[in-house]
Amino acid sequence: MTAQSPSSASATPPPQAGSQAVRAGTLEVRLARNEGEIAAAQALRYRVFYQEMGAHPTVETALVQRDFDDFDAFCDHLLVFDHARGAGNDAVVGTYRLIRREAAARVGRFYSAAEYDLRCVAEYPGAVLELGRSCIDPQWRTRPTMQLLWRGIAAYVFDFGIELMFGCASLPGTDPNALAVPLSYLYHHHLAPPALRPRALSDRYLDMNRLPADAFDPAEALNQLPPLLKGYLRLGGFVGDGAVIDQQFNTTDVCIVVKTDLVTEKYYRHYERRVRAVAAA
């Protein structure tokens, strides 16, 4: 499959929606601008998901050494570049896939619909964004890289007026017993309110309530969660009802739902500070 350039969309400036790049030292975060940059993101995804984390590739995926699907041609790809590696596509060290409601409509569904009943999300009146395919090169899994990636997401959310973000976040492995503590912690402490609670499809449903709430230390359970999941929770994120085992990717997935109030408020303060600094200069 040859990925196409993500479709551009406009919003009322400032800034022009999705157009800005954010720099921090040699790192830069921005949307992919051409097919070559999307291919570089797919190659990074392949290295992380398949070669590092043990996902099972299809014959075609293994042949091209890239992780791809039908959504890639319609979504936006947020990329982190390290310009210390040069100016080409080899500089891509992090990526996130962003699927707005309009892009999902062109494909026919959201990606997570293969695992969850998303009617509550589809019926949400505001702008909706699905997050997925997040990965960072092992050498760049540092706090500054993750912070820059989140700044890029915040800018995107701000530009497009996104009110609700969601997507599947993964726990490593497919043994529910080994994941009993983190799954139970999420169920007891972060279950989404009913109106915003996607439910795992009945034929894939895995009960997350595996241990009583008093059977584990919540602080220790939180510490066991992958950094990405903890990041969502710090933004006030919730989880849906039920987990899903993804045999292909060697993970157990939960559906995360985040109202973007905290994201947009934080970015708006940053944007106002930037405007004031420019005006003072």
User: Can you tell me the distance from the alpha carbon of 43 to that of 119, in angstroms, rounded to the nearest whole number?
Assistant: 32
User: Can you tell me the distance from the alpha carbon of 77 to that of 134, in angstroms, rounded to the nearest whole number?
Assistant: 10
Taking residues 79-96, what's their average pLDDT? 90
- Residues of the chain above pLDDT 90, percent: 74
Number of domains in the chain: 1
Burial track 184-221 (b if 16+ CB lie within 10 A, e otherwise)? bbbbbebebeeebbbbbeeeebbebebbeeeebeeeeb
Confidence of residue 102 (pLDDT cuts 50, 70, 90): very high
Tokens at 210, concatenated? 């595996």
Contact 118, 110 (CB under 8 A): yes
Evaluate if residue 100 carries a pLDDT over 90: yes
Evaluate if residue 187 carries a pLDDT over 60: yes
* 90 in any annotated domain: no
Beta bridge partners of residue 27, listed in sequence order: 24, 82
Mapped onto helix, strand or coil, the DSSP state of residue 72 is helix
CATH of the domain at 115: 3.40.630
Rg (CA), the chain: 19
Taking residues 106-135, what's their average pLDDT? 96
Beta bridge partners of residue 279, listed in sequence order: none
* 262 in any annotated domain: yes
Name residue, tokens 């559906």: 255
Taking residues 269-273, what's their average pLDDT? 54
∠ CA 47-182-77, rounded to 5°: 35
Evaluate if residue 122 carries a pLDDT over 80: yes
Tokens at 124, concatenated? 């949400």
Taking residues 163-174, what's their average pLDDT? 96
Question: How many angstroms separate the Cα of 104 from the Cα of each of 112, 113, 195?
Answer: 10, 10, 21
Q: What is the pLDDT of residues 231-253, one digit of tens each?
A: 899 889 999 999 999 999 999 99
Tokens at 58, concatenated? 């299809």
Q: What is the pLDDT of residue 14?
A: 34
Evaluate if residue 12 carries a pLDDT over 60: no
Per DSSP (E only), the strands in the chain are 22-24, 27-31, 76-82, 92-100, 116-117, 127-136, 162-172, 199-200, 238-239, 244-246, 251-259
pTM recorded for the entire structure: 0.86
Residue scoring higher pLDDT (277 or 115): 115
What value does the mean pLDDT of the chain take? 88
Confidence of residue 24 (pLDDT cuts 50, 70, 90): confident
Q: What is the pLDDT of residue 266?
A: 60
Tokens at 72, concatenated? 């890639």
Residue scoring higher pLDDT (24 or 69): 69
* 190 in any annotated domain: yes
Amino acid identity, residue 156? Answer: Y
* 58 in any annotated domain: no
Evaluate if residue 205 carries a pLDDT over 80: yes
Q: What is the pLDDT of residue 5?
A: 35
Taking residues 169-190, what's their average pLDDT? 96
* 167 in any annotated domain: yes
Confidence of residue 263 (pLDDT cuts 50, 70, 90): confident
* 261 in any annotated domain: yes
Burial track 11-23 (b if 16+ CB lie within 10 A, e otherwise)? eeeeeebbebebe
Q: What is the pLDDT of residue 275?
A: 43
Which structural domain, as residue segments, surrounds residue 216? 97-280
* 38 in any annotated domain: no
Question: β-strands 76-82, 27-31: how paired?
Answer: antiparallel
Q: What is the pLDDT of residue 119?
A: 96
* 135 in any annotated domain: yes
- Residues of the chain above pLDDT 70, percent: 86
Number of H helices, E strands in the chain: 9, 11
